[in-house]
Structures are given as structure tokens and as C-alpha cells.
Amino acid sequence: MNTTNDSIFNYKMKDIDGKEVSLDKYKGKVILVVNVASKCGYTPQYEGLQNLYEKYKDDGLVILGFPANNFNGQEPGSDEEIKQFCTLNYGVEFPMFSKVSVKGEDQSKLFTYLTQAQNPDFTGEIKWNFEKFLIDKEGNLMRRFRSDVKPESDEIVTAVSEAL
């Protein structure tokens, strides 16, 4: 399973344009990983995520969006359609990745790690779209937030500020 020296930086993922990205390129940054979907009740959180990114990107925050179709088929589009949707509707500028599975037998190894890594909040499978994983500058999971915790909530803003 995961070893004590495992971190998000050990993973490579394809970005929304199909290019392989080693997540160690984000070393030294605070990372908010979010499993996203275009047809979800929480989809308007893209706006909050973009606002959070704009507010803190110069301080070292990066948000990584991972589209997933695991919940009621709420992300049916291709990577190209997802990219267009996020850009046109929400002006998303933070890095977006290729669609992945965040639970079940075909779960992405990154999300296996994130859902099992120890943190003060909770472990276990993702329950819905827009769960958030806050990663410190060394690549360790610091905090985890359920879907209903908005990106601009005091809880997330405080955690991000402290991590920076």
C-alpha cells in the first residue's frame, strides 16, 4: 500500500491536453487537489476555486482539478469538452488534468494514495464530486474537505493561509 515516505510528488498524471506531468513540479507549493465535474450541483464551486487560486497563486498555492465521472455520470464529456466548459463558464486558469477515476476498482493510484493517507480530518473513499485535498509544500496530505465545504469558506481559506 502506501509507505511512510509516499507523497503526491511520486505520481505522474496526464494533463487535460494529454501531456504527462510529474506532480513533483509542484514541490514547494501548497496544492489543493479537487475531483471536479461539469454537471454537478457543486459545479459552481469552479468559480470559488478560481477565486481562491487568483487570490493565493502568487503566494504559492496551486489548485489541481481532476475531472471524474464516478458519481451519477456527472462528467460525461471528453477532456477537450471539459476544458472548454471550464474556460468558457468559469474562466478556469488553474491546472486541469485528464479525466480519472477517483473510486472503485479502476481508481487512479493518486486518489488511492489521497484517500488512504493519514490526515486530521478523515480517510476513506470519496463520497462525491468536489472533495478537496490540501497538500503541504513537502507533498503531504494536511487536510481533507468534503464536497459541501466551499472553496471560499473560512475553513479552507484559513487552512490554505496557514499552509502558505
The CATH number of the domain holding residue 113 is 3.40.30.10
How far apart CA 28 and CA 79 sit, in angstroms, is 28
Length of the chain: 164
Q: Is residue 55 part of a domain?
A: yes
Q: Is residue 128 part of a domain?
A: yes
pTM: 0.96
Q: Is residue 3 part of a domain?
A: no
Judge contact between 159 and 143, C-beta under 8 A: yes
Q: Enumerate the active-site residues.
A: 40
Q: Kindly report, residue by residue over 124-140, the tens digit of the pLDDT.
A: 999 999 999 999 999 99
Looking at residue 5, its pLDDT comes to 61
Q: Is residue 154 part of a domain?
A: yes
Residue type, 134: L
Q: Kindly report, residue by residue over 98-113, the tens digit of the pLDDT.
A: 999 999 999 999 999 9
Q: In which domain, by residue range, is 101 found?
A: 14-163
Q: Is residue 2 part of a domain?
A: no
Beta-carbon neighbour count of residue 21 at 10 Å? 17
Looking at residue 4, its pLDDT comes to 46
Q: Is residue 7 part of a domain?
A: no
Q: Is residue 4 part of a domain?
A: no
How many independent structural domains does the chain possess?
Answer: 1
Enumerate residue ranges in the chain where pLDDT < 50: 1-4
Residue type, 79: D
Contacts of 10 (CB under 8 A, 6+ apart): 23, 24, 139
Our measurement of the distance from residue 85's CA atom to the centroid of its chain's CA atoms, rounded to an integer in Å, reads 17
Looking at residue 6, its pLDDT comes to 82
Q: Is residue 1 part of a domain?
A: no
DSSP per position, 90-128: H---S-BB--B--SSTT--HHHHHHHHS--SS--S---S
Q: Kindly report, residue by residue over 5-15, the tens digit of the pLDDT.
A: 689 999 999 99
